[in-house]
Structure 1
Amino acid sequence: MNATGTEIRTAVCVKIGDSIISDLLMSVYILAFIFGLIFNILTLGPILQQVRRQNVLGIFLLSLLLSDILFIFTMPLWINYYRQDHHWQLGVMSCSVAGFFYYSNMYISIYLLCCISVDRCLVVTYPLRSKTHRTSCYAWAQCVSIYAVVTVLHVMVLFNDNLQDAHDGRDDRCYETYPMEKPVALFNLLRVGVGFLLPLLVLAVSYWRVLATVGQSPGLSAQVKRKVRLLSFGVIGIFSVCFAPYHILLLTRSLIFYTRPLESYCEFEQWVHFAFSCTLALSSLNCVVDPVLYVLVSNGIREDVKVCCKRNKTTQTNERAPSRHNTAKLNNQII
């Protein structure tokens, strides 16, 4: 770090004191931990059933669930961090590991959401031609590639970046060191462009094609069209609510760092600090809404949940449904 940056940091670029917002952030992480763990565990069985049937959507859902579970297991560390009023008392390495799982989950989730949106687009717009490409092997290859690329990139950042930049030893902060370094600011800009704006564009175009195709299809019932619209708007809405505020502020902070003097930059960081912390906490809610959005909306998986919860269902009831089930199965492939 250069001398100017050291002087600014020594003089405390951003003062983080005791605040009721720390309790608010802790509450958000506690709720995300509890409901995220419950929802993901409850939906694990039904998703595994879809994977056994070589269902492509089920494979994406399982990959999403595994990423969420790994992140959820690190949430108690962040809960303790905010309970201690932004003091990380667990060492430098644990701070880096917790941050690694936090940000890896964020971008693994974003790209898996993109894969799901593209898959839905192919099913609706090219139902026949997409059959040759929508295989379980192809879906697994996509998931493994996303995990590998995101993991390698974050491992490279951890090894090339000084761990002290993640953990501020003087104030015992974790990923709240100020001012940011130039390589960090550049990496933030890349994260916003490649990790958020590009996937958002892909997702928006995919669901725009889905909505346009479904709206012009006379063979689909009004109920199926409504569910497709709900899924489409739900994905875009959740994507925007969970990830957009964080990336917008991240982009703004990085641009201010490049365009303003350090003193002015520190004033800005002080002003937006808790707002930025809130957007980061908001992004953690994706591990709660992922299973709700993609599992409970899907008829096929919702039926598996009912089977898991009501194993003593009578055979007579099952025999009445086949014709209705077979009719709905074709429409469920679109959803």
Structure 2
Amino acid sequence: MDKTNFNLTCVTISNSPISDFLMSIYILAFILGLAFNLLTLGPIVQQVRSQNTLGVFLLNLSLSDLLYIFTMPLWINYYHRDHHWSLGSLSCSVAGFFYYSNMYLSIYLLCCISVDRCLAVTYPLRTKAFRSARYAWVLCLVVCVTVMSGHGLVLFKDNLQDAHDDTQDRCYETYPMPQPVALFNLLRVGIGFLLPLLVLGLCYWRIMGQVKQSEGLGEQALEEDKKGSIQSIWYVILVVSDSLRWNKLMLFPMLN
């Protein structure tokens, strides 16, 4: 009997300060995320119209973020009700699908941007022929289809779970977590965090090394390098800002 009471105490998450904390984070993320994406959408569209490959990647990244941002009010309501999902299993599945899809879409689109920037800086002449807007659209399509197809499995395997009783429904929160689900979460962290982090680190290292080697270039080459540097500034700002949200998204599956 004591053991049972102890287990129930461990998995109880209702009426907890963590709900208010998560709700505050989501409200702040919703306001800032919506404002930032809407403000940058205009300049990004102009880049796409000029057939800029970086603009194509940024547009897809922004649209992915907006899809997730529009589901945030559902999660805000969920945490406001102390982890009680009252909107039905279908809305839970849709919100969860966009949550996981956006997480990995953002990560792998950032990897595409990093590899594209790395190729543009380290092999500008060799890669100029195929680094076109069409090439960027194809890559984005492959990433979107792959990620959404993979997370269709999450949509069908996970559902609205009752953690304690019939009056307290959880959305993608099952406690205590079954061992296969816990192992799957750790696998997701490895594929969705560690592997992309390695790609981003290698690309950044190659770009910095190439920049140091270009200090002795002529005036014309320096002018071309200046244009690339402007795009690289956008790239760095993007990586830093999106990584803050990325780390938060990956932290939840790992902690679970």
Cross-structure match for 2:65? 68
Alignment of 1:1-335 (within 5 A): 11=8, 13-159=10-156, 161-165=157-161, 168=163, 170=165, 171-218=168-215, 219=217, 220=222, 234=237, 237-238=240-241, 241-244=244-247, 247=250, 250-251=253-254
CA distance in 2, matches of 1:225, 1:100: 36
CA distance in 2, matches of 1:162, 1:248: 19
Percentage of identical aligned residues:
58
In the TM superposition, what whole-angstrom CA distance separates every residue of 1:249-284 from its partner, at most 9, and x where no partner exists?
A: 744x5xxxxxxxxxxxxxxxxxxxxxx6xxxxxxxx
Distance 1:217 1:103, change over 3 A: same
Unaligned runs of 5+ in 2: none
Counterpart of 2:68, as a letter, is F
Shift of 1:246: 5.3
Unaligned runs of 5+ in 1: 1-6, 254-275, 277-335
CA distance in 2, matches of 1:226, 1:64: 21
Contact 1:37 1:69 in 2 (8 A): yes
In the TM superposition, what whole-angstrom CA distance separates every residue of 1:55-112 from its partner, at most 9, and x where no partner exists?
A: 1000000000110110011000011111112211111221121111111101000000
TM-score, structure 1 normalization: 0.65
Contact 1:104 1:151 in 2 (8 A): yes
Shift of 1:181: 2.4
Indicate the larger mover: 67-76 or 183-192: 183-192
Runs of at least 4 residues of structure 1 off by over 3 A? Answer: 7-13, 219-251
Distance 1:13 1:223, change over 3 A: same
CA distance in 1, matches of 2:98, 2:122: 36
Question: What is the SS of the residue equivalent to 1:173?
Answer: strand
Q: Higher RCO, 1 or 2 (CA under 8 Å, sep at least 6)?
A: 1
In the TM superposition, what whole-angstrom CA distance separates every residue of 1:11-30 from its partner, at most 9, and x where no partner exists?
A: 46511132333222212211
Indicate the larger mover: 141-150 or 168-177: 168-177
Question: What is the SS of the residue equivalent to 1:16?
Answer: coil
CA distance in 2, matches of 1:101, 1:76: 13
Distance 1:118 1:36, change over 3 A: same
Distance 1:34 1:241, change over 3 A: closer
Which structure is larger by alpha-carbon Rg, 1 or 2? Answer: 1
CA distance in 1, matches of 2:197, 2:249: 14
Distance 1:228 1:152, change over 3 A: closer
In the TM superposition, what whole-angstrom CA distance separates every residue of 1:110-162 from its partner, at most 9, and x where no partner exists?
A: 00000111111011101111112211111111101111111011112222x15
CA RMSD across the alignment? 2.9
Contact 1:47 1:62 in 2 (8 A): yes
Number of aligned residue pairs: give it.
Answer: 245
In the TM superposition, what whole-angstrom CA distance separates every residue of 1:16-62 from its partner, at most 9, and x where no partner exists?
A: 13233322221221121112112211222221111111110000000
